[in-house]
Structures are given as structure tokens and as C-alpha cells.
């Protein structure tokens, strides 16, 4: 079986590259003998790093050929269907998905965080494509409700983000926190509207952490565009801060996070990788996906023992609030191995849903294979609305 993987791959974003790494490692476990081809912005690097076939995602001929020779397209994970970064971005992804449908190839939407999307036309186009997918898996309940609100009338499954499948440096499912350098505060910010106002607030709180707790502040970017934010943070701070370059591989990032005491992060996948590494995290919820993660863990049936994950909404960031949240995390934050293991196991459900759909096992075996999740709809079907 030949399957094409499609996402924001090849751009050096460590969150998306971590998802791709997890897919390449785990899909063969549920689809033995599967041959993977990645649509990548840097196919040579993707092929070299992961040992899979890769083609240029911006080459129409290469994309057409890969899809025509495949048995299906997996779109995801990540946040592909949103227009906050560019109004054109979702249309590119919809075009490739539509091409797969035109070629009569199964479209499997996997691990998606949906929105925000401001254009009503784009919302209708997303609903049109999603309604024709063979399988739809989103990573949070908010994304499922969003699709239903936009007119999706087919079954939508919810499983945790695929980044939870990323292996720890020791190759096990859990990275036990080390006791080496446990005074490090890792900081991760990214370009975003309003970040210029947030940087001075973060700088004051980081200065406070150094002065009061003896913290060592380290700025860790996940993509090159964040380096300028790190330099602005350095200029705004009175105390010293170490600026890291973007780690070459996700494994390096997770290994470094296993050495820190706490993480202050904007990016969703920095929060996930921090928890995987055993470091409690304070998420700055600039985007619904960060808030959705915290809601799933804190508001659902899962609880992080010792307040291992805290959240501060983007429009509520002040020095006092940020200082209070970080102090609670610094003094009492610990990550529950049970919670991380549960999220990792549940994330496997999305891959089993993919295997069931591609292998034609949508029927009676689905409840057994997917646990408590709803079964994916049958091929070509648009019925099965979850309420």
C-alpha cells in the first residue's frame, strides 16, 4: 500500500516535523508494509532525515504523480485549515485534498486543529471537502464543534494531537525528568499580533525569576522567525538570558527540555514536547489550540498532578498574572507520567482509525480497534453525525 503524507512539512517548524517523525515511525505499525511519500517543501532533507520518499509540495506535476500512484492521502496533522497566517493558506491545502478526491483516492484528514477561519467562503469550501473525506480526525473537541457549525455532516473523531506519539530520547514512552540543571526556565515566543506588548511583560517576569529563584532563563525557538523575538526579549531584560538557535532535530529539543524546571511557551507543540520531557509548562494561549489542550487535560477526565500545566489567555496577560502563574508552576509543578501515557495511548487511536479506513475495517471491528471513539463512516458515506 502506498500512502501520501501531506502537511506543513519541510519548513523547519519543529512541531510539524515532530508530527511527521511520529507518523513515519508509527504508521508502519498499524499498516505493515506501507510505503510513504511526503509532500515537502524540502524533499531532499525530508528523505535524508526520515528515510522515506519525498516530493516537492509546490510542484503540481510531482504532487499529481504522487497522488495518482498512491492508495490514499493523509492530510495532517497540524493546523492546516486556518487563515490566521494567510488567507491563501487553506486554499492550497484544500486544492491538494480536492485533487485526491478528483483522482478517486481516499482522503483521510488526521490530527487536525480547525480554525480560526474568518472568511465564510473558505468555511463553506472546507465543509465541502471535509464532507467528502473518508475519515476525519481532529485533535480537540473545539475543532469538532467548529466543523459541525460550518456545515460538516459526517462523523468526526477526536483524538489527541499526533505530537504525543513522538518518542522520548531514551526510546520509551516517557522521559523521566533529570535532576541535573533544574533551575532552567525555558521560554518560547513566536511572532504574533500583540507580541511586541507581551515581550516586555515576559522580560520583567523572567528578571523576577532570576532574582528571586535563581533561575537560568533560556530562549528556545521552534522556527527561525522566532529568533528576532528572542533578541527583543534579551534587550528588554536586565538579567542574563541565553539565546539558543533552532534545534536541528526534534529529538534535541525534547532532550533539552528534559533538563529544565519549567517552560513558558506560546506554541502548542512546545507545551506538548515539554510535558513529554517531564517539564511542567505554562501556555500563553494566543490561539484556540493552546487553550483546547489545557481544557482537554484540566477540564476533562484527565488531571495533571501537581499542576503540571497552567494556562494564561493572550488578552489577559499582565505582569502580576504571569508572575503568579509562573510562581505556582515553579514551586509546585510536576508532570504526571500516567496522564502523558494516557494521551500517548489515545493518540494511537487516530492511527488505528486510519488503518481501519484504508483496510476497509470500518464495520464491526471498529469499536474494538478504536476504544471509546466513534467508528469512521464507510467509504464515500457522509452520514454519521456526532452530537
pLDDT above 60 (res 251): yes
Cβ count within 10 A of residue 358? 21
Q: What is the rounded distance in angstroms from the CA atom of residue 320 to the CA atom of residue 323?
A: 5
Host H or E run for residue 37: strand 35-40
> Residue 116, preceding bond cis, omega within 30 degrees?
yes
Q: What is the pTM of this model?
A: 0.84
Laid out side by side, the sheet with 107-112 consists of 53-56, 35-40, 2-6, 73-75, 107-112, 135-138, 157-158
C-alpha dist (Å) from residue 39 to 52, 73, 227: 11, 10, 27
pLDDT confidence tier of residue 308, bands split at 50, 70 and 90: confident
Average pLDDT over residues 336-362: 87
∠ at Cα 285 (282, 291), nearest 5°? Answer: 95
Q: What is the rounded distance in angstroms from the CA atom of residue 311 to the CA atom of residue 330?
A: 14
| Mean pLDDT taken over the chain | 86
Q: At the topology level of CATH, where does 2-167+342-370 sit? A: Rossmann fold (3.40.50)
Q: What is the rounded distance in angstroms from the CA atom of residue 315 to the CA atom of residue 286?
A: 8
Among the listed residues 276, 250, 251, the one whose alpha carbon sits nearest the alpha carbon of residue 13: 250
Host H or E run for residue 48: helix 43-50
User: Which residues, other chains included, contact 227 with Cβ-Cβ below 8 Å and sequence gap of 6+?
Assistant: 221, 243, 245, 246
pLDDT confidence tier of residue 375, bands split at 50, 70 and 90: very low
pLDDT confidence tier of residue 158, bands split at 50, 70 and 90: very high
Q: Phi and psi (nearest 5°) for 381? A: -85, 145
pLDDT confidence tier of residue 96, bands split at 50, 70 and 90: very high
**Distance spanning both ends of the chain, measured CA to CA:** 34
pLDDT confidence of residue 361: 56
Task: Report whether 209 contacts 184 (CB < 8 A).
Answer: no
Q: How many CA atoms does the CB half-sphere of 139 hold within 13 Å?
A: 32
Residue 387 CA from chain centroid, whole number: 25
Q: How would you write 103-146 as a 3-class SS string?
A: CCCCEEEEEECCCCCCCHHHHHHHHHHHCCCCEEEECCHHHHHH
32 or 179, greater pLDDT: 32
Q: What is the rounded distance in angstroms from the CA atom of residue 199 to the CA atom of residue 202?
A: 5
What's the CATH architecture for 184-334? 3-Layer(aba) Sandwich (3.40)
pLDDT confidence tier of residue 77, bands split at 50, 70 and 90: confident
pLDDT confidence tier of residue 307, bands split at 50, 70 and 90: low
| Domain boundaries, given as residue ranges, for the chain | 2-167+342-370, 184-334
- The region that residue 267 occupies, defined by phi over 0 for left and psi between -120 and 50 for alpha, beta otherwise, is beta
Amino acid at each position: 500500500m502506498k500512502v501520501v503524507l501531506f502537511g506543513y512539512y519541510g519548513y523547519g517548524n519543529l512541531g510539524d516535523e515532530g508530527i511527521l517523525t511520529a507518523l513515519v515511525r508509527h504508521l508502519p505499525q498499524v499498516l505493515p508494509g506501507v510505503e510513504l511519500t511526503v509532500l515537502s517543501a524540502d524533499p531532499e532533507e525530508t528523505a535524508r532525515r526520515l528515510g522515506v520518499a519525498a516530493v516537492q509540495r509546490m510542484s503540481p506535476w510531482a504532487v499529481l504523480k504522487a497522488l495518482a500512484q498512491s492508495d490514499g492521502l493523509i492530510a495532517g496533522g497540524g493546523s492546516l485549515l486556518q487563515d490566521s497566517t494567510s488567507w491563501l493558506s487553506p486554499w492550497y491545502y484544500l486544492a491538494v485534498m480536492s485533487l485526491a478526491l478528483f483522482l478517486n483516492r481516499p482522503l483521510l484528514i488526521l490530527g487536525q486543529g480547525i480554525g480560526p477561519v474568518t472568511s465564510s467562503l473558505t468555511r463553506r469550501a472546507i465543509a465541502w471537502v471535509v464532507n467528502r473525506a473518508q475519515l476525519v480526525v481532529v485533535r480537540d473537541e473545539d475543532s469538532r464543534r467548529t466543523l459541525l457549525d460550518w456545515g460538516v455532516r459526517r462523523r468526526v473523531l477526536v483524538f489527541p494531537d499526533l505530537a504525543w506519539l513522538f518518542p522520548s530520547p531514551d526510546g520509551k514512552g516517557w522521559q523521566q525528568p533529570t535532576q541535573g540543571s533544574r533551575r532552567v526556565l525555558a521560554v518560547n515566543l513566536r511572532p504574533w499580533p500583540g507580541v511586541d506588548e507581551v515581550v516586555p511583560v515576559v522580560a520583567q517576569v523572567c528578571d523576577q525569576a532570576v532574582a528571586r529563584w535563581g533561575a537560568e532563563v533560556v530562549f528556545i525557538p521552534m522556527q527561525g522567525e522566532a529568533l528576532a523575538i528572542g533578541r527583543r526579549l534579551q534587550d528588554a531584560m536586565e538579567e542574563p538570558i541565553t539565546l539558543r538557535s533552532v534545534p536541528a532535530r526534534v529529538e534535541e529539543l525534547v532532550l533539552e527540555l528534559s533538563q529544565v524546571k519549567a517552560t513558558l511557551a506560546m506554541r502548542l507543540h512546545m507545551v506538548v514536547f515539554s510535558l513529554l520531557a517531564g517539564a511542567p509548562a505554562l501556555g500563553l494561549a494566543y490561539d484556540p489550540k493552546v487553550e483546547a489542550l489545557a481544557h482537554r487535560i484540566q477540564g476533562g477526565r484527565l488531571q495533571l498532578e501537581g499542576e503540571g500545566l497552567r494556562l494564561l489567555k493572550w488578552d489577559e496577560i499582565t505582569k502580576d498574572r504571569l508572575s503568579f502563574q509562573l510562581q505556582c508552576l515553579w514551586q509546585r509543578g510536576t508532570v504526571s507520567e500516567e496522564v502523558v501515557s494516557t494521551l500517548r495511548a489515545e493518540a494511537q487511536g487516530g492511527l488505528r482509525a486510519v488503518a481501519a479506513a484504508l483496510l476497509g475495517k470500518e464495520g464491526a471491528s471498529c469499536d474494538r480497534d478504536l476504544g471509546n471513539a466513534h467508528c469512521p463512516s464507510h467509504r464515500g458515506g457522509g452520514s454519521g453525525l456526532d452530537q
